[in-house]
């Protein structure tokens, strides 16, 4: 047990306690949390900064607004309902089309309007928000994801998660929905996570849970070796998300739209640690490299270059923090 | 930097907590174990006399300065007498008085005393005694005796031993035989010694007392000679000349007077009796704290009404339970519903006992979940739905109680103490997790919560821990210190070692 502990420490694996104590508590001031916990605020911030986001159709703020859903959706056959304060993808409904008077979700389930309204009502009452506080629901455009991922995802929208530490993208992965995850790009529901080489944007092998998988379980297509288009842009907008929020340790969720390119879906001030398993590498090691060598005040482009230079796969040895090296 | 701050804070809290506990244990003798008992003795003086035709007044010397023992309680028992106590230079006295009485009378003095090693003679250094007034031959004999004893001794102690030895030789000693005859009692010998000591300008007095043994029954008084060597009182047995205060000797009164006096009556008789007994250590400690003027007894939780005390003995354990949660969540990594929900469940387990608690909890939550899944179909708004679940939970609890009453299952009755609001919230949370993340995750978290609750219950149920926290609430400062330290633990959680095992294996390859 102790050897496992030491081995993880040597590998620079970030544990939940350290993420909380040394990173999120330290670099994410509590007062800035609303910027990312409220997806509507995030969206508006991103728009102001010229960062592309999925088109906003409308917002349902009160139980009364629920009736306006058809009006908000208008002629768009596809749309996404997203509670502004939902966490870990809870409460998100993706509608991919209509079937007569009913709405067809991306996994093929059919909802009539009444069922959707019930879901909206729950969401507004706060069923999906942290602490159950009343919420609003965002109605936005469904991302038409790039055909690149078609062979490695089952229904749903694959997304890219980039961990950004004080403006520097340190680690990234792509999350591929599976049948088990019911079309959601959510790792703990069974989606595949695959690490990405920061320098080139090429995917590595995937993992489900903590098991390595070389092929997508539903499509049997190899996961490694996919080159993610617009990689440099993805890194750029991720890095800029630090500048618009001021949060020092965030996870940026990006989707690739067939027509519009990379769009920021949401930001997360408490990004999970599974990304380490997907990359088969500890986050702490990269965070320490940043703390050691990076110039955090540099403009976004320079920070991205730093990340691409330092975090070329495979990343070098673990850097001891200066304080410990000195003692 | 931040860590140092925390270390210092934790250290300060630890020092405060530990020193308060040490003070209470060492000085005030608070018991470390629950239901601890201390040996006490009930001592009793019965004074019988025949009253005369007019007013009667009986005085009794009662224990005042009792090195090695403390008085816990004392009672004056009589029928129709007025009782008063007063302090005289020789010590305290109790006085029973009545204008008129007929027939033989008995009044009682009773006290409860316990061993108290910290209690030493607190009185001040006495003045030099006046030289005894003696006729010429006696004076010459005394001076001769003093001169000889002084020659054969080095200090006050050995001088006293010399004197006592000569007095004990009695009529054989040429000097002592002037003062003493063969039948002199130990008390008379001790009084004689005080006179000689006064002649040598050494303060001394006679102490009368009783031996406190493990047997109950009547006791005779014994005599000790107290001699002041300028710094402290020394004790000598006038018969054996042995120095030192016998450990079981309770000094009752001092001086050459008798223990009791009677005015206006006849046939005075005093009998002393002792009865060993056991007494709650807590009570003794609190009395002592009060006697020492310590504030700790004033602010002790046991000054509260009993019902409030019971509440606090439970409440004070909650931080301890929370500490268990910290360990299990931050060091092991168990997932639970709600942060402190398991502590509240554990509190409910106190009444139901563990096994029943687990069964009842599982039953209620599963039934509640069924109802919740049914309600899901009805599409209710959130708050009305929660209200429904809550009401169903309450009804379920009532139903289980009624059914178990019919079946004579006593433990199931205490289900009424389950925190139903917490259970309703748990059901709601669990059903959402079930929907969103699948049954396995929901059941995992449910089992995790129960596991943590069971562990918290076991820890919170330790009787000695509960006693410790109740008697020494300052131990909670230690809990704060521990949580401060644990709050800066940034190492891996036990379950993370499993979760990230793939990352560790690669290193070894």
Domain co-membership, A112 together with A179: no
Domain co-membership, A222 together with A284: yes
Question: Does residue B409 register a pLDDT over 80?
Answer: no
| pLDDT at residue B304 in the model | 78
The 3-state DSSP class for residue B327 equals helix
A90 and chain B: CB distance < 8 Å anywhere?
Answer: yes
Beta strand ranges found along B229-341 (DSSP E): 233-236, 249-254, 260-263, 265-280
Structure tokens at B341: 């929900």
User: Is residue A116 one of the residues assigned to a domain?
Assistant: yes
Question: Does residue B325 register a pLDDT over 80?
Answer: yes
Task: Return all residues near B504 (Cβ < 8 A) that are at least 6 apart.
Answer: A4, A7, A8, A11, A13, B497
The 3-state DSSP class for residue B252 equals strand
Interchain contact, B490 vs A21, CB within 8 Å: yes
Question: Which residue in the set A16, A63, A118 is minimally distant from B496, CB to CB?
Answer: A16
Beta bridge partners of B94: B60, B85
Of the two residues A270 and A155, the one the predictor is more confident about is A270
A280 and chain B: CB distance < 8 Å anywhere?
Answer: yes
CATH label of the domain that carries residue A243: 3.30.470.20
Domain co-membership, A90 together with A229: no
Question: Does residue A242 register a pLDDT over 60?
Answer: yes
Closest listed residue to residue A17, CA positions, set B1, B330, B495: B330
A321 and chain B: CB distance < 8 Å anywhere?
Answer: no
Question: Does residue B508 register a pLDDT over 60?
Answer: no
Domain co-membership, A116 together with A97: yes
User: Is residue A326 one of the residues assigned to a domain?
Assistant: no
| pLDDT at residue B16 in the model | 92
**Domain closes at, from A141, A173, A206:** A141
Question: Does residue B460 register a pLDDT over 80?
Answer: yes
What is the residue-averaged pLDDT of chain A? 83
| pLDDT at residue A324 in the model | 42
Percent of chain B with pLDDT over 90: 6
Question: Does residue A326 register a pLDDT over 50?
Answer: no
| pLDDT at residue A315 in the model | 67
Domain co-membership, A87 together with A175: no
Element (H, E) at B86: strand B82-88
Q: Tens digits of per-residue pLDDT, B145-161? A: 888 888 888 888 888 88
User: Is residue A42 one of the residues assigned to a domain?
Assistant: no
**Domain closes at, from A93, A119, A141:** A141
User: Is residue A62 one of the residues assigned to a domain?
Assistant: yes
Interchain contact, A15 vs B487, CB within 8 Å: no
Domain co-membership, A152 together with A132: no
What is the residue-averaged pLDDT of chain B? 83
Domain co-membership, A18 together with A125: no
Highest mean pLDDT among B28-42, B109-123, B405-419: B28-42
- A22: chain B residues, CB-CB within 8 Å: 490
- A323 pLDDT band, cuts 50/70/90, is very low
Q: Using CB atoms within 10 A of its CB, is residue B486 exposed (0-12), middle (13-18) or buried (19+)?
A: middle
CA distances from B492 to A1, A166, A284, B503 (A): 11, 23, 12, 13
Question: Does residue A169 register a pLDDT over 50?
Answer: yes
Q: H helices of B200-294, where? A: 281-291
Domain co-membership, A137 together with A150: no
- A126: chain B residues, CB-CB within 8 Å: 382
Instruction: Give the whole-angstrom CA distance, residue A267 versus residue B190.
Output: 95
Instruction: Give the whole-angstrom CA distance, residue A38 versus residue A184.
Output: 20
Question: What is the four-CA torsion angle of A12, A17, A23, A27, rounded to 10 degrees?
Answer: 180
Instruction: Give the whole-angstrom CA distance, residue A102 versus residue A115.
Output: 10
- B12 pLDDT band, cuts 50/70/90, is very high
| pLDDT at residue A123 in the model | 86
A77: DSSP letter? S
Instruction: Give the whole-angstrom CA distance, residue B358 versus residue B364.
Output: 10
Q: Is the model's pTM score more than 0.90?
A: no
User: Is residue A46 one of the residues assigned to a domain?
Assistant: no
A87 and chain B: CB distance < 8 Å anywhere?
Answer: no
B416: DSSP letter? G
Task: Return all residues near B232 (Cβ < 8 A) that are at least 6 apart.
Answer: B121
Task: Return all residues near B255 (Cβ < 8 A) that are at least 6 apart.
Answer: B90, B91, B205, B206
User: Is residue A50 one of the residues assigned to a domain?
Assistant: no
| pLDDT at residue A238 in the model | 92
Interchain contact, A126 vs B432, CB within 8 Å: no
**Beta carbons of A21 and A284 less than 8 angstroms apart:** no
- Look at A29-33, A112-116, B458-462 and tell me which has the smallest mean pLDDT: A112-116
- Extents of the domains making up chain B: 35-124+206-226+241-293, 128-202, 309-497
Domain co-membership, A182 together with A297: yes
Question: Does residue A130 register a pLDDT over 80?
Answer: no
Instruction: Give the whole-angstrom CA distance, residue A15 versus residue A21.
Output: 10
Domain co-membership, A176 together with A103: no
Sort residue A275 into left (φ over 0), alpha (ψ -120 to 50) or beta.
alpha
Instruction: Give the whole-angstrom CA distance, residue B75 versus residue B41.
Output: 14
Of the two residues B183 and A60, the one the predictor is more confident about is A60
**Domain closes at, from A96, A119, A141:** A141
- B171 pLDDT band, cuts 50/70/90, is low
Measured in Å, how far apart are chain A's first and last C-alpha atoms? Answer: 27
Q: In terms of residue numbers, what domain contains A156?
A: 2-36+146-320
* Alpha carbon of A160: minimum distance to chain B alpha carbons (Å): 21
Question: Does residue B138 register a pLDDT over 70?
Answer: yes
Of the two residues A196 and A313, the one the predictor is more confident about is A196
Domain co-membership, A118 together with A151: no
* Alpha carbon of A15: minimum distance to chain B alpha carbons (Å): 5
Q: H helices of B78-133, where? A: none
Work out how many domains chain A is built from and give that number: 2
Of the two residues B491 and A133, the one the predictor is more confident about is B491
Domain co-membership, A64 together with A136: yes
User: Is residue A296 one of the residues assigned to a domain?
Assistant: yes
Q: Tens digits of per-residue pLDDT, B244-254? A: 888 888 888 88
Task: Return all residues near A30 (Cβ < 8 A) that are at least 6 apart.
Answer: none
User: Is residue A275 one of the residues assigned to a domain?
Assistant: yes
**Beta carbons of A77 and A70 less than 8 angstroms apart:** no
φ and ψ at residue B217, rounded to 5 degrees: 140, -170
- Look at A268-272, B289-293, B439-443, B456-460 and tell me which has the smallest mean pLDDT: B289-293
Question: Does residue A325 register a pLDDT over 70?
Answer: no
Q: Report the complex ipTM.
A: 0.74
What string of DSSP letters covers B337-358?
SSSSHHHHHHHHHHHH-HHHHH
Q: Tens digits of per-residue pLDDT, A269-278? A: 888 888 888 8
Structure tokens at B129: 């005694």
Instruction: Give the whole-angstrom CA distance, residue B366 versus residue B385.
Output: 17
Instruction: Give the whole-angstrom CA distance, residue B165 versus residue B155.
Output: 15
CATH label of the domain that carries residue A129: 3.30.1490
């Amino acid at each position: 047990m102790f050897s496992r502990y030491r081995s993880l420490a040597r590998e620079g694996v970030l544990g939940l306690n350290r993420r909380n104590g040394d990173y999120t508590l330290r670099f994410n001031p509590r007062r800035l949390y609303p910027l990312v916990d409220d997806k509507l605020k995030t969206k508006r911030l991103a728009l102001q900064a010229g960062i592309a986001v999925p088109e906003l159709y409308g917002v349902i703020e009160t139980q009364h607004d629920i009736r306006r859903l058809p009006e908000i959706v208008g002629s768009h056959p596809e749309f996404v309902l997203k509670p502004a304060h939902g966490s870990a993808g809870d409460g998100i409904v993706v509608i991919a089309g209509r079937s007569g008077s009913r709405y067809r979700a991306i996994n093929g389930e059919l909802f009539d309007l009444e069922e959707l309204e019930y879901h909206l009502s729950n969401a507004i009452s706060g069923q999906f928000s942290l602490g159950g506080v009343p919420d609003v629901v965002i109605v936005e455009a469904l991302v038409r994801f790039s055909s690149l991922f078609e062979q490695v995802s089952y229904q749903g929208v694959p997304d890219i998660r980039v961990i950004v530490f004080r403006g520097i993208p340190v680690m990234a992965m792509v999350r591929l929905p599976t049948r088990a995850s019911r079309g959601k790009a959510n790792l703990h529901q069974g989606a595949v996570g695959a690490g990405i080489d920061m320098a080139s944007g090429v995917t590595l092998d995937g993992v489900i849970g903590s098991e390595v998988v070389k092929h997508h379980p539903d499509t049997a297509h190899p996961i490694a070796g996919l080159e993610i288009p617009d990689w440099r842009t993805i890194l750029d907008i991720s890095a800029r998300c630090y500048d618009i929020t001021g949060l020092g340790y965030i996870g940026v969720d990006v989707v690739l739209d067939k027509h519009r390119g990379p769009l920021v879906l949401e930001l997360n001030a408490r990004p999970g640690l599974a990304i380490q398993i997907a990359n088969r590498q500890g986050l702490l090691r990269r965070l320490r490299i940043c703390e050691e060598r990076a110039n955090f005040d540099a403009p976004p482009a320079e920070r991205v270059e730093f990340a691409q230079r330092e975090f070329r796969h495979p990343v070098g040895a673990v850097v001891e923090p200066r304080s410990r090296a000195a003692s | 930097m931040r860590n140092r701050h925390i270390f210092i804070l934790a250290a300060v809290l630890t020092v405060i907590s530990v020193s308060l506990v040490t003070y209470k244990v060492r000085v005030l003798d608070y018991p470390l174990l629950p239901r601890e008992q201390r040996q006490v003795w009930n001592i009793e003086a019965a004074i019988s006399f025949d009253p005369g035709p007019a007013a009667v007044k009986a005085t009794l010397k009662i224990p005042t300065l009792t090195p090695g023992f403390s008085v816990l309680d004392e009672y004056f028992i009589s029928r129709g007498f007025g009782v008063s106590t007063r302090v005289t230079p020789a010590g305290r006295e109790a006085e029973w008085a009545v204008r008129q009485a007929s027939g033989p009378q008995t009044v009682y003095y009773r006290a409860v005393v316990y061993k108290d090693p910290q209690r030493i003679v607190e009185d001040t250094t006495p003045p030099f005694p006046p030289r005894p007034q003696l006729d010429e031959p006696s004076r010459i004999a005394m001076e001769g005796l003093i001169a000889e004893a002084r020659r054969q001794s080095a200090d006050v102690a050995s001088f006293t031993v010399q004197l006592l030895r000569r007095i004990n030789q009695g009529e054989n000693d040429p000097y002592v035989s002037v003062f003493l005859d063969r039948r002199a009692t130990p008390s008379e010998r001790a009084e004689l010694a005080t006179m000689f000591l006064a002649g040598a300008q050494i303060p001394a007095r006679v102490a009368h007392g009783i031996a406190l043994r493990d047997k109950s029954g009547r006791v005779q008084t014994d005599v000790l000679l107290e001699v002041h060597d300028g710094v402290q009182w020394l004790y000598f047995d006038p018969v054996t000349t042995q120095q030192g205060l016998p450990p079981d000797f309770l000094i009752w009164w001092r001086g050459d007077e008798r223990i009791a006096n009677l005015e206006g009556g006849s046939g005075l008789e005093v009998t002393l009796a002792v009865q060993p007994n056991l007494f709650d250590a807590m009570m003794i400690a609190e009395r002592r704290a009060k006697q020492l003027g310590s504030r700790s007894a004033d602010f002790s939780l046991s000054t509260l009404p009993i019902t409030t005390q019971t509440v606090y003995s439970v409440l004070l354990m909650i931080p301890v339970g929370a500490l268990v949660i910290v360990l299990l969540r931050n060091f092991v990594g168990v997932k639970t519903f709600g942060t402190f929900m398991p502590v509240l469940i554990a509190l409910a387990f106190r009444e139901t006992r563990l096994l029943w608690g687990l069964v009842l909890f599982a039953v209620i939550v599963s039934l509640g979940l069924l109802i919740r899944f049914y309600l899901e179909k009805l599409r209710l708004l959130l708050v009305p739905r929660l209200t429904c679940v809550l009401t169903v939970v309450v009804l379920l609890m009532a139903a289980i109680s009624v059914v178990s009453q019919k079946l004579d299952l006593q433990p199931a009755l205490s289900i009424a103490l389950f925190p139903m609001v917490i259970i309703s919230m748990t059901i709601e949370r669990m059903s959402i997790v079930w929907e969103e993340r699948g049954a396995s995750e929901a059941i995992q978290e449910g089992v995790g919560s129960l596991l943590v609750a069971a562990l918290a219950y076991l820890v919170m149920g330790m009787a000695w821990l509960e006693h410790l926290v109740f008697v020494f609430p300052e131990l909670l400062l230690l809990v704060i210190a521990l949580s401060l330290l644990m709050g800066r633990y940034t190492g891996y959680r036990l379950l993370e070692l499993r979760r990230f095992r793939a990352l560790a294996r690669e290193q070894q390859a």
